[in-house]
Amino acid sequence: MSYVDEVIEKVIAQNPSQPEFHQAVKEVLESLRVVIEANEEKYRKDALLERLVNPERAIIFRVPWVDDKGQVQVNTGYRVQFNSAIGPYKGGLRLHPSVNLGIIKFLGFEQIFKNSLTGLPIGGGKGGADFDPKGKSDREVMAFCQSFMTELCKHIGADTDVPAGDIGTGAREIGYMFGQYKRIRGVYEGVLTGKGLSYGGSLARTEATGYGLLYLTKELLKLNGIDIAGKTVCVSGSGNVAIYATEKATQMGAKVVTVSDSNGWVYDPDGIDIAALKEIKEVKRARLTEYKNYRPNSEYHEGRGVWSIKCDIALPCATQNELHLDDAKALVANGCLAVCEGANMPTTMEATEYLQANNVIFAPGKAANAGGVATSALEMSQNSERLSWSFEEVDQKLQNIMVNICHNMVDAAKRYGCEGNYVAGANIAGFEKVVDAMTAQGIC
Ligand code: NDP
């Protein structure tokens, strides 16, 4: 049996009930097959893949807190410190009821390659809890965040592990966590990114993932002879990534006609009104049903359906496995040119394969959404030198990083004879640097 197949089998056997982790490992290792098979003997002897798929450390902890009725609630917190070969662990904290060890491991594993692709010195990690901030008062969110950080602070630090936001963890949650870290550890350091501007945050971090997605999408389309201006775009999600992807796509002259949340989706044939979207989601923290009050011409539909709308470019920006095979078929039938992932692993494996087989340009999340973590690394640099850069400076660096990622991904695919397969290209480019660093550091 080939080394790749052997390791995939082991991962499935040793990590039961972690389907998302199995999926992420399979997707990465399958696409690395050409590279691994060329070095099979050496990698096998060094147990390189076994070391890569086993986190350096996984911390699971109790998070007790008191709700507004005086009732004690208990959540489970996680931090998976996956790989520190190229820098301190870096990756977000997800707060969502669906969070479990398998989901955090899939995200942490993907993060290793994404962080490597940015060209910046950051290792891979991820964390979170099965806590749902939705419907909680500010006091309840603070109580949860303080309790969560009381335990987490023993394991992180500006030079060891620097968490950031993710689903459910925005500026409010990062602020509460940062305050608690400082109280307990007694140090003012850049231990978290995504901080507010008044206490060490970076300009353009809020926009970075969505903007970065569009910088990469534009460059990739350009390399394929397509201009983004004038194109129709479907976006899913209406959180941080979706909002700023919609904003930048619109600034580039494209028209975004959909957004969604976990209850339903909006179709606005005149183009999504970004000011309205921001007010609903960032200010009121409300549901998308409100959008019709701002734009009577728009439609609101319950459930899934974003991918049934005819578009040139699809940008899934909500969550994992939200674009299924049927959706991919609908997109192809409607003449979609490109799918670029704003979320982490939003496209199922069957859907990805179908899109690629039908010549749809497909940019995987680990390349396309790397702008968030890249700008987090720029926030770390600013914190280390105790200086703040202007919005334009950060945004320019972000653009350069995304264009570089795009070219590295395209070139790596070409080098290994799989031109146009950007999943393989992104994985290979990310993998090469990590393996080089792991090998140089000996067996550890
Ligand atoms: P937010 O919490 O800001 O927004 C998430 C959006 O997705 C919301 O609209 C949410 O709807 C929707 N959503 C969440 N879960 C589901 C679900 N099960 N079904 C349908 N819709 C759902 O998160 P972000 O925008 O920060 O993150 C979105 C994705 O991008 C995630 O995969 C994240 O890991 C990834 N990502 C984020 C980065 C960042 O910098 N923020 C960086 C790189 C990747 P509702 O409000 O109803 O829950």
Per-residue pLDDT, averaged over 313-330, amounts to 97
Q: What is the pLDDT of residue 443?
A: 95
What is the side-by-side strand order in the sheet with 255-260? 299-302, 264-267, 255-260, 232-236, 313-316, 338-340, 361-363
Residue among 10, 69, 105, 126 flagged as catalytic: 126
Coil, helix or strand for 414?
helix
- Residue 344 CA: which ligand 1 atom is closest? 32
What is the side-by-side strand order in the sheet with 161-164? 57-66, 72-83, 123-129, 89-95, 161-164
Q: What is the pLDDT of residue 92?
A: 97
What is the rounded CA–CA span in Å between residue 329 and residue 326? 5
* Distance of CA 319 from the midpoint of ligand 1 (Å): 5
Instruction: State pLDDT tens for residues 235-290.
Output: 999 999 999 999 999 999 999 999 999 999 999 999 999 999 999 999 999 999 99
* CA nearest ligand 1 atom 37, residue: 166
126 assigned to active site: yes
Instruction: Decide: 15 and 105 in contact? Cβ < 8 Å.
Output: yes
Instruction: Decide: 206 and 245 in contact? Cβ < 8 Å.
Output: no
Pocket flag, ligand 1, residue 368 (CB < 6 Å):
no
Residue 359: band (very low, low, confident or very high) from pLDDT cuts 50, 70, 90: very high
* Distance of CA 218 from the midpoint of ligand 1 (Å): 22
Half-sphere exposure of 246 (CA within 13 A, CB side): 26
Share of the chain above pLDDT 90, in %: 100
